[in-house]
Amino acid sequence: MSGTGIGARVQRKEDFRFITGKGQYTDDVNCYGQAHAVFLRSPHAHADIVSIKLDAARDMAGVVDIFTGDDLAADKIGGLICGWMIHSKDGSPMKAGAHPALAQGKVRYVGDHVAVVIAETQAQARDAMEKIEVDYKVLSPVVSMADAVRAGAPVLHDVAPHNIVYNWSLGDEAAADAAFATAAHVTKLDIINNRLVPNAMEPRAAVGDYNSGSGGFTLYTTSQNPHVARLVLSAFIGIAPEHKLRVIAPDVGGGFGSKIFIYAEETVCVWAAKKVGRPVKWVADRTEAFLSDAHGRDHVTHAEMALDASGKILGLRVKTRANLGAYLSTFSSCVPTYLYAPLLSGQYDIPAIYAEVDGIYTNTAPVDAYRGAGRPEATFVIERMVEVAAREMKQDPAEFRRRNFVRNFPHQTPVIMCYDAGDYDASMTKALEMADYKNIGARKAASAKKGLLRGVGFSAYIEACGIAPSAAVGSLGAGVGLWESAEVRVNPVGTVEILTGSHSHGQGHETTFAQLVSERLGISIDNVAIIHGDTDKVQMGMGTYGSRSGAVGMSALSKALDKIETKAKKVAGFVLEASPDDIEFKDGKFSVRGTDKEIDFASVALQAYIAHKFNGQELEPGLKESAFWDPTNFTFPAGVHICEVEIDPATGVTRIDRWTAVDDFGNVINPMIVEGQVHGGIAQGVGQALLEGAVYDANGQLVTASYMDYAMPRADDLPSYDVGMTQTACPSNPLGIKGCGEAGAIAAPPAVMNAITDALGHEEIAMPATPLAVWRAAQRLAPRAAAE
Amino acid sequence: MYPFTYHRPGSLADAVKLAGSDEAKIMAGGMTLLPTMKQRLAAPSDIVDLNGLDLAGIKVEGGKVTIGAMTRHADVAGNADLHKAIPALAELAGMIGDPMVRHRGTIGGSVSNNDPAADYPSACLALGATIVTSKREMAAEDFFTGLFETALEPGEIVTKFVFPVPEKANYQKFRNPASRYAIVGVFVAKFAAGVRVAVTGAGSSGVFRQFDFEEALSKIFSTQAIEGIKQSADGLNSDIHADAAYRAHLIGVMARRAVEAAR
C-alpha cells in the first residue's frame, strides 16, 4: 500500500497552498467590471424607518446605484427563511416574523440592513453611504430575554406576541414529575450559556455576477454549503431557478457554523448584479462580522435533577429560554430544540427527562448554529448538574458519573436519541490515569501553599453527529434531507477526481477524503483530487456542519467506491479473461483468484476508457460512479475531558494547568487531523468558558464589537493538551466513523467551569469566568472549602 | 480612510511648520492613528510623518538614559545598555502590543498620544523623566494633563526623553483579556531621594502617581509597607472587563508585586 490510507498521519495536502498564500478565497475573486457594495446598517436596535433620502448619496462620485427594501419588494425577491419548522407544545407552528434582506419599514437590531450602495470602489461606496439620510423613529428595544417577555414589552414582530417564537417541549412531564416525587435528593441550578460571536478568520464575502447572454447568475460566497445556498436562493428567495444559478464557495477560511446560513448581503449581491448589469462584490469588515454574523448559544436555564439516596439519577427537568435574536436565521429554530434537548441525557441512564424551551425574539443579532450547536448547551447543563449533584451528595465526581453511565447498547434515551455504541467507562478510566487524578489532593495542597486555588473539573460529554437520517429530521420539522453525495471520476491514466457535497473550510477534506480513496483503490493521495464547493461541478450536496463530513460525506464516497470496484472488476474480467466473480481486488491490483494473472488499477482504468476488450452491449465504457448516502442513525462521539486550573485569588486570573482529553470518535481516518480538531475545539470551548461573551448595553448597542473588547483565546491562554483516544466503531455507517469536529468545543466549557467552581468551593459564577468574575467570586465565602 | 495630504519632512523645523496647521496630525509609528483613520474615526487633512527625521536612539551615560522619540518599542526592549541601567523600562517596552506594534510603534508616539491604557506614561511619571520637545523641556508630571491630553501645543513635537537611572524599579501590568492593554499598570521606581509609584490603565484622567504608596515605600521599601494602604476606587475607570473596585484592588496587588520584583 502507498502508506496514505486510513489511519495514516498524512500531512494536509491543502496546507502548502494555504500557508504560501495561494488559497483562492472569495475576496480573491475579481470579475471584469465589478462594482463594490457597502451596506448601510441600522445604528438603532429598534426603530421605524420614517423615510430614506438617497438623493445626496446618488450624487456622490462613483455611485452606480443604491437600493433599499422597496427595490427588493418590487422585484418580488422573498425574505430570508428559517428552514426548520418547530411546533409549540400546544401544537401551534412557530411564529416567524418576516426577514427581508433589506429592511422594510423597521429595523430590529444594530447592524440590520437598511440599504446597499454600489459604487466603482469600496471607498466611494462608503463615502456615498455616509450621505444617505434615514429618518428613524426610535422604539424602545428589548435586549435581554427577561425584558422581551415582560408584560407590555415592545414587540419586534406583530406575528409573535410577547416576543415568543415558540414554547416547545420534549419528554414525558408526568414521568419526570413522578421521578422527583420519589427523590431522596434534588439538585437545582441556574445556568447561563453565554452568547458568542463566531469570528471565523475570513469574514463573510460575496461576488454576484449575471450573464445577460445566458441569463445565468453566479454567486461566489463564503459558504459551508453552497448547494443549500442555491436551493434557498432559488426556491425560496426567488433569485433564479436552480439551473440558472451557480453558487461557488471557493477556499473558505473557517465557518464554525456561521457560514451555513443564507444572509442578506450575499442575497443582495447576486440580485443586484443583474440590476446594475455588473458583477457586485461585498467583503465584510470585522465590525460587520461582529454585528451581523449569526451569533451562538445564549441560553438561560433552570435545571433540576432527582436522585436516589445512592446517587443514581432518577429524573431531569430543564427549563430553557433561548435567545434567537431579532430574526430567525436559517436553522436557528432547531438549535435550542432538536439539537439541544435530545442530548440532555448525556452519557447517563436517566429514566425520565422533561425539557421546555422558549424561543425568544430580542433586538440583537440573530442567533444560530455555532460549533456544536445545541449540544454544547446541553452538555453544559448535564455536566454542571452531574458535578454539582456529586458535590452535594459528597461523592467523587468520577465515581458518581460511573454509577450513572449507560452501559448497554443500543440505549434508548427518553429524549429521542438511541445511542448505538460506546464505552464510557473505558474513556473515564483512561482519562483518570492520564490526568493523574489520584494525586490531585497533593497538587491542591501544593497550590494552596503558594496561595493559589487548584480545582479539577470533569466533562463526560456526548454529542449527536453525522446528522442525520433524512426521514428522522423530516419528522422533526427539517425542511431538507440530510444525506450526502459523492462522485468518483477515474481518469484513463488511473488518477481519480472525487466530487463531494461536503465542503472543506479548514477540516482537511482534500487529505482525508483522498486517504479513503487511497485505502480503497491502492493509489497514493497525490493521485487523488477532491473537488467541492461548486454547484456546477458537484450535482447536489448538503454541506459541512454537525461533524458530518466523515460519517456522512465519506460514507457516500465509500458507497461510490464500492460501485467503482464492481465496475472495475468487470473490466478486469474482460482483460484477464475471467469471470468478474473470480476477480480479487487488493492493494491496487486486480487478480484472478488462484492464478498469477493480475492487472493494476491504472491499467484497468485505461482499459475501461479504450474499451478494446469488451463491446458496448456487454459493458458501458468509462469508469465513473456516484452515490448518495442517507445515514441510518446519528453518530454518538463521546469522551471524558478533565481540566485542572489554578486560580490566583488576588487577581482572579485562572490558569489552565492540565488538560486531558480522551475521546471516542470511532474509526479515525487521520489521527493528526483529528487531534487538530480536538485542539481547536478545546480552544473554542475554553474561549467560551474564560474569555468570550457578546455584551449588549441597555440600548442594544453591541459593546463587544471589536477585539478591543471581545476576548478571543490566544496561545498563552491555553495549556498543552494531553490527548488520548478510545475506540468503539460506529455501527451506523460503513466506515465506523463518529465525527470529531465539535467535540472539544462541546466538552470544554463544563470541564473548565467544574474546575473553577471546585477551586472556589461554590457554584456562583457564570461564563465567561474572566479575571473580574473570578475575583468577585473568590471574595465570597466558600462554604465547601470552609467546611473541608 | 478619507483622503489626506501626506508629508515626510526632512528636518524638525519643517515638521513643526507642517504640523502647526489646523487639521494636521503628526504620525510617528502610526499604530494608533492609522487604525483610527481606517475606521474613519479620524479625518486629518494632513499627515506629517516623522520617519524622515533622525530622532531614534538610546544613550546611557552619567546616571541618565536618553531615548529618542522615534525609537521603536522593540529597540527599547532589546537594548543591552538599557537592560543594565533600567531593566524595568526595557521590560515594559517588551510588553507593549504585539511584534508588529513593537517594531513600528515609538516611545514618542505612545507618550504624545497619552492613551490612558498605554504603558510608557507610567514609566515617565514614576522615573521622573524629562520630556524634551521641539521648543522646551518638561517634567513628566507637567506633560500628562488628562485622557489623551498632554501639554503639547499645536505643532510641538516630542524629540527625546531623559530618564534618571533609579536604584531599582519594576513595572507590573495586568492586561485586559481582550485588548491586552493595561487594565492596571503600576511602575515603581526607587531613588535615593525616595520612591515614585505611577499607575496607568486605571485612572479616568489617565496616568497618576500613588502618593500614599510613595510615602510608605520611601520609608520602608517592602510589600508590607503598602499592604494596609487602601487605594480608593474614586476616579477609576469602570468597564465590562474591570470595574473601579477591581481596578483599585489590582493597583495594590500590582504595586506589591512590583516592589517584590524591583531590581
CB proximity A698 to B under 8 Å: no
DSSP string, A213-241: TTTEEEEEE--S-HHHHHHIIIIIS-SS-
- All CATH 3.90.1170.50 domain ranges of chain A, comma separated, are 31-139+204-283
* Average pLDDT of the residues of chain A: 96
Q: For residue A787, what pLDDT band results from cuts at 50, 70 and 90? A: very low
**Three cell numbers at A198?**
463566531
Fold of A483-629: Aldehyde Oxidoreductase; domain 4 (3.30.365)
Best of A708, A718, A767, A774 to disrupt the B interface (most B CBs within 10 Å) is: A708
Residue A277 CB partners (closer than 8 Å, separation 6+): A210, A212
Candidates B1, B39, B242; nearest CB to A772: B242
How far apart CA A245 and CA A224 sit, in angstroms, is 17
Q: Say if the Cβ atoms of A709 and B241 lie within 8 Å.
A: yes
Is the N-terminal amide bond of A410 cis, ω within 30° of 0?
yes
**A contact residues 25-84, partner B, Cβ 8 Å cutoff:** none
Q: What is the mean pLDDT of residues A580-586?
A: 96
Per-residue pLDDT tens over the stretch A43-77:
999 999 999 999 999 999 999 999 999 999 999 99
pLDDT value for B22: 81
**Three cell numbers at A765?**
459564577
Tell me which residue of A36, A103, A65 sits closest to A264, measured CA to CA: A103
- All CATH 3.30.365.10 domain ranges of chain A, comma separated, are 296-468+633-787, 483-629
Show residues of chain A in contact with B253, CB under 8 Å.
650-651
Q: Say if the Cβ atoms of A651 and B250 lie within 8 Å.
A: yes
Q: For residue B241, what pLDDT band results from cuts at 50, 70 and 90? A: very high
Residue B169 has pLDDT above 60, yes or no: yes
Q: Say if the Cβ atoms of A703 and B1 lie within 8 Å.
A: no
Per-residue pLDDT tens over the stretch A139-151:
999 999 999 999 9
Pick the more confident residue, B21 or A728. Answer: A728
Cα–Cα distances in angstroms (integers) from residue A747 to residues A170, A583, A641, in the given order: 23, 47, 6
Residue A14 has pLDDT above 90, yes or no: yes
Per-residue pLDDT tens over the stretch A481-529:
999 999 999 999 999 999 999 999 999 999 999 999 999 999 999 999 9
Q: What is the mean pLDDT of residues B174-185?
A: 97
pLDDT value for A7: 96
**β-bridge partners, A116:** A39, A67
Q: What is the mean pLDDT of residues A470-487?
A: 94
**β-bridge partners, A659:** A643, A721
Show residues of chain B in contact with A771, CB under 8 Å.
174, 177, 242
Q: Say if the Cβ atoms of A772 and B40 lie within 8 Å.
A: no
Q: What is the mean pLDDT of residues B106-113?
A: 98
Residue A410 has pLDDT above 80, yes or no: yes
* Average pLDDT of the residues of chain B: 97
CB proximity B240 to A under 8 Å: yes
Q: Say if the Cβ atoms of B179 and A771 lie within 8 Å.
A: no
* 3-state SS class at A718: coil
Cβ atoms of B12 and B135 within 8 Å: the answer is no
B133 CA: distance to closest CA in chain A (Å)? 31
Q: What is the mean pLDDT of residues B115-135?
A: 97
Length of chain B: 263
DSSP state of A492: T
Candidates B1, B178, B249; nearest CB to A709: B178
The strand order across the sheet containing A216-221 reads A63-68, A113-119, A35-41, A280-283, A205-211, A216-221, A245-248
Per-residue pLDDT tens over the stretch A609-663:
999 999 999 999 999 999 999 999 999 999 999 999 999 999 999 999 999 999 9
How far apart CA A623 and CA A763 sit, in angstroms, is 62
**Three cell numbers at B83?**
537592560
Show residues of chain A in contact with B40, CB under 8 Å.
126
Is the N-terminal amide bond of A468 cis, ω within 30° of 0?
yes
Q: What is the mean pLDDT of residues B251-257?
A: 98
- The distance in angstroms from the start CA to the end CA of chain A is 60
CB proximity B174 to A under 8 Å: yes
pLDDT value for A685: 98
CB proximity B191 to A under 8 Å: no
pLDDT value for A786: 44
B87 CA: distance to closest CA in chain A (Å)? 24
Residue A278 has pLDDT above 50, yes or no: yes
Q: How many CA atoms lie within 13 A of A266 on its CB side?
A: 31
pLDDT value for A129: 98
Tell me which residue of A83, A441, A64 sits closest to A235, measured CA to CA: A83
pLDDT value for A781: 60
A780 CA: distance to closest CA in chain B (Å)? 14
Least confident of A194-198, B19-23, B35-39: B19-23
CB proximity A17 to B under 8 Å: no
How far apart CA A304 and CA A645 sit, in angstroms, is 27
How far apart CA A15 and CA A28 sit, in angstroms, is 18
**A contact residues 435-474, partner B, Cβ 8 Å cutoff:** none
Q: For residue A468, what pLDDT band results from cuts at 50, 70 and 90? A: confident
- Which pairs count as long-range contacts for B3-6, CB under 8 Å and 24+ apart, including other chains? B4/B37, B4/B43, B4/B44, B4/B45, B4/B46, B4/B47, B5/B45, B5/B46, B5/B47, B6/B46, B6/B47, B6/B49
Cα–Cα distances in angstroms (integers) from residue A146 to residues A149, A322, A335, A538, in the given order: 6, 11, 20, 46
- The distance in angstroms from the start CA to the end CA of chain B is 45
Residue A782 has pLDDT above 90, yes or no: no
Percentage with pLDDT > 90 across chain A = 98
What is the CATH superfamily name and number for domain A31-139+204-283? Aldehyde oxidase/xanthine dehydrogenase, a/b hammerhead (3.90.1170.50)
How far apart CA A373 and CA A365 sit, in angstroms, is 16
Count Cβ atoms below 10 Å from residue B57 Cβ, excluding itself: 14
Tell me which residue of A670, A717, A679 sits closest to A12, measured CA to CA: A670
Residue with cell 503600576: B186
Q: For residue A788, what pLDDT band results from cuts at 50, 70 and 90? A: very low
Residue A3 has pLDDT above 70, yes or no: yes
How far apart CA A756 and CA A655 sit, in angstroms, is 10
Per-residue pLDDT tens over the stretch A335-365:
999 999 999 999 999 999 999 999 999 999 9
Q: Is the pTM of this model over 0.80?
A: yes
Best of A130, A651, A653 to disrupt the B interface (most B CBs within 10 Å) is: A651
Is the N-terminal amide bond of A768 cis, ω within 30° of 0?
yes
Residue with cell 492596571: B184
Cα–Cα distances in angstroms (integers) from residue A30 to residues A208, A214, A289, A658, B22, in the given order: 10, 20, 21, 47, 40
Q: Say if the Cβ atoms of A708 and B40 lie within 8 Å.
A: no
Residue A275 has pLDDT above 60, yes or no: yes
Candidates A691, A775, A776; nearest CB to B177: A691
Cβ atoms of A360 and A164 within 8 Å: the answer is yes
Residue A1 has pLDDT above 70, yes or no: no
Q: What is the mean pLDDT of residues A227-243?
A: 97
Per-residue pLDDT tens over the stretch A687-743:
999 999 999 999 999 999 999 999 999 999 999 999 999 999 999 999 999 999 999
How many beta-carbon contacts under 8 Å exist across A and B? Answer: 42
Q: Which domains are assigned to chain B? A: 5-51 (3.30.43.10), 168-263 (3.30.390.50)
pLDDT value for A421: 96
**Three cell numbers at A150?**
415582560
Calculate ∠ Cα A469-A79-A98, nearest 5°. Answer: 95
CATH number of A296-468+633-787: 3.30.365.10
**Three cell numbers at A714?**
490566544
pLDDT value for A780: 84
**A contact residues 754-783, partner B, Cβ 8 Å cutoff:** 770-772, 775-776
| Burial group, residue A540, by CB count within 10 angstroms (0-12, 13-18, 19+) | middle
Per-residue pLDDT tens over the stretch A543-577:
999 999 999 999 999 999 999 999 999 999 999 99
Per-residue pLDDT tens over the stretch A300-311:
999 999 999 999
